[in-house]
Structures are given as C-alpha cells and as structure tokens.
Amino acid sequence: MNIKRNILLNPGPSTTTDTVKMAQVVPDICPREKEFASMMKDIRKDLVKIVHGGDDYTSVLFCGSGTINIDICLNSLLPEGKKILVVNNGAYSTRAVEICEYYGMPHIDLKFPVDERPNLVKVEEVLKENPDIALVHTTHNETGTGILNPIREIGELAHRYGAVFTVDTTSTYAMRPIDVYKDNIDFCMASAQKGLMAMTGLSFVIGKTDIIKKSADYPKRSYYCNLFLQYDYFEKTGEMHFTPPVQTIYATVQALKEYFEEGEEAKWARHTRVFDAIHEGLDELGFKDVIKRDEQAGLVVSAIYPNDENWDFMKVHDYCYERGFTIYPGKISTTNTFRLCALGAIDREDIVEFFKVFRAALDEYNIAVPVRY
C-alpha cells in the first residue's frame, strides 16, 4: 500500500513510518485473549527500559491522550491533608494547576515567566515554608515554548523536602535521553504518538512501584483515572481494566521495535539534526525565536510573527499544508508565535524541502525576506 507521507512539524502526533502505520492492520482480536495480554506485558517492560528504570519502576498503560497522565498522577498520588506544588513556567504546567483546581486538591501554583527557567531558590523557599507539600510536579520540555526545565535539580529539591516528584515528559520521552535515577524522577509520562512515533490513543505513566502501592490508601478522586487501580488490575490479570486501544497497541509494539533498532543516541542525534536544520532555515529568513538558544530543549522552536502587514499565519499554513508540510500555531498568550518541531520519523532533508516551500509561501503573499520586526 502506498500511503502519502506528510511531514508534521506540529508538536505531535508526529510523522510515522509506513511499517508503524501498517502494523495496525491485523486480524480482529478480543483484547481479553492471552496473546494480547502478553504483548502488553512486553510493552510495559520496554517503556521502563527507555528511561533506564530497574525493577523498582513499573509502567501503567491508559487509553487516552497525554493529558490523562497528568490527571492520573496528580489525583492518585496526593495523600489526605497534603499539598501539591506545581513549578509552572508554561501551558502544560498550567494544565496541571487546572487539574488540581478541578479536583479541589490543595496546591501551590508557583509561577515563573514562560520564557525563563524556574528560579530554584524560590522553589526551595516554598518547599521550606510548606512542609505539607507531598508532591512536586513540573514539565520537562514546555511544549508551548520549547524551554527545557532543570528537572534533575527540581527533583533533587523535592526529595530533600520529602516530596514525590512527577514530571510531564510527554514531549521529551523517547527523544531526549532520560534516566529516572540521575534525573531524580519518581514518575514520568508520555503518549505513544509523540517520541515513540506510534499512534494516538495510548498513554503511559512510568514510576516507582512502592509509591504506587502506597497510594492504594490515598483518597480515590477518580474511578477511571486512578493509578493504583489500573496498576493492580494489570498485576492481577495482565490486562487493562477497561478496553484498550487495540490497534494503537499493535502500532506501539512496532514503534518500540524501531526505537530500539535506531537506538537512544542515534535517535537523539537525528532529532538534533532536524532541530538544527529548523534553526538554520529560520535564521536564513531572519525569524527570531522566543527562548534563548541554550535553554531550548532541542525539539520545539517558537518563532515570533514578523511585523509585516502581509503576514498571515493561516495563509502560510495552508500553502505549506497543501504541499504536505504541517506547521503549528504558538501557545503563548502574550506573544504571537508559531512552532516548528523536530519530532517524528523525519530527517534533515525533510526540513530542507520544507524551507523551499515555506520560502515560496512568503514570496506568494509578498512577505518581505528577511522578515521584518
């Protein structure tokens, strides 16, 4: 089968290989069969292996998009009478704060500017002043801007003050190398369609088994989204509590195979090549980006709209989209930006081809090059 290859420069879902796409086409199967359960057992092990976890870590699968993981970790891992600290410098940590609000969980929203790394002295001050903080949460790569947060240092502080550390690694997992021990991570998370380059619908939390077991006695704030319940069901039956995303799981098996074949280092080197090519292309056209170069996570570039009356993001988007390239709007409320991302099964040549099309779009709509600010 010949499937059109689109280059997705949005922050996920990402461009997939044809072999991953085709892995979904399988004979119909009831997911309660042993054959299916054994496949999920292998996936769970592989997911832990990607972040170099040992026997003290496990992974738990859920059916849903990546946000379900944030919901699950926060609502399941907060003991009675304790508080959550969200170290917040962007849209995804803000989402975590909103989850706390929806569940009515006591929390501190420690806000920092979206274009700056969190101030660790302030983080420590808050931890010192609030001994009832039992959980610290932050985002590794704030996908809205592309800033890389110092998770190792924040995790170290969380542990020093006796708190569990959960990190939203949705936009770094299986791309930027992560080591749960060195990075002081108790829980991290992702979904299959981002770094793994599989399909949407499968998300997973990777974390410390003893903490999950301990959380059995914590308040149950959700029925569908409880970490212990899902973990316990997996351990007892090998199955997901409720219907799994069957075809997505077949795609994930293939994607994991391809992940280990490519290798952690080579894959990160490829994403870095793509990222560098994005910067070269933008620099050549005179675009400015939001986050300091050396603070970017190496996966998302947020470029500022030029100051040109002919600039119209949607027109440029549509021009590129019709030619097989998807670009994406920004996620910063105070600045007009668009994003180009280095996720997916793409390489440098795809970015070179993209910039030919992008340049043609600028010419088509009489947008000055180099762009003006």
Ligand X SMILES: *Cc1c(COP(=O)(O)O)cnc(C)c1O
- State the nearest-atom distance from the C-beta of 63 to ligand X, in Å: 12
Residue showing the smallest CB distance to ligand X in the complex: 66
- State the nearest-atom distance from the C-beta of 191 to ligand X, in Å: 6
- State the nearest-atom distance from the C-beta of 168 to ligand X, in Å: 5
**Measured from the CB atom, is 169 or 226 closer to ligand X?**
169
Torsion, CA 317, CA 323, CA 326, CA 330, rounded to 10:
-20
- Interatomic CA distance for residues 117 and 256, integer angstroms: 32
**Measured from the CB atom, is 65 or 209 closer to ligand X?**
65
At 55, is the secondary structure helix, strand, or coil? Answer: coil
- Contact criterion met (CB below 8 Å) for 257 and 49: no
Q: Show the tokens assigned to 189.
A: 């998370």
- State the nearest-atom distance from the C-beta of 255 to ligand X, in Å: 16
Closest CA to 275 of 89, 6, 19, 11: 11
For residue 2, report the phi and psi dihedrals to the nearest 5 degrees: -105, 110
**Measured from the CB atom, is 85 or 357 closer to ligand X?**
85
What DSSP element (H or E) covers 269? helix 264-285
Q: Show the tokens assigned to 239.
A: 């199955």
**Measured from the CB atom, is 143 or 252 closer to ligand X?**
143
Q: Tell the residue number behind the tokens 């039992």, with chain if given.
A: 134
For the residues of 43-56, what is the DSSP string, one character each?
HHHHHHHHTT--TT
Angle (nearest 5°) at CA 39 between 193 and 187:
55
**Measured from the CB atom, is 66 or 207 closer to ligand X?**
66
- State the nearest-atom distance from the C-beta of 170 to ligand X, in Å: 4
- Contact criterion met (CB below 8 Å) for 118 and 112: yes
- State the nearest-atom distance from the C-beta of 91 to ligand X, in Å: 8
Torsion, CA 287, CA 293, CA 297, CA 298, rounded to 10:
60
Residue 138, classified by CB atoms within 10 Å of its CB into exposed (0-12), middle (13-18) or buried (19+), is buried
- State the nearest-atom distance from the C-beta of 362 to ligand X, in Å: 28
**Measured from the CB atom, is 187 or 355 closer to ligand X?**
187
**Measured from the CB atom, is 36 or 173 closer to ligand X?**
173
**Measured from the CB atom, is 166 or 215 closer to ligand X?**
166
At 370, is the secondary structure helix, strand, or coil? Answer: coil
Enumerate binding residues for ligand X (CB under 6 A). Answer: 11-12, 65-67, 92, 139, 143, 168, 170-171, 191
**Measured from the CB atom, is 11 or 118 closer to ligand X?**
11
**Hey, which residues does 63 pair with through a beta bridge?**
202
- Contact criterion met (CB below 8 Å) for 114 and 144: yes
- State the nearest-atom distance from the C-beta of 140 to ligand X, in Å: 7
- State the nearest-atom distance from the C-beta of 32 to ligand X, in Å: 27
Closest CA to 239 of 40, 29, 35: 40
Q: Show the tokens assigned to 255.
A: 């994607």
**Measured from the CB atom, is 73 or 78 closer to ligand X?**
73
**Hey, which residues does 188 pair with through a beta bridge?**
206
- State the nearest-atom distance from the C-beta of 12 to ligand X, in Å: 5
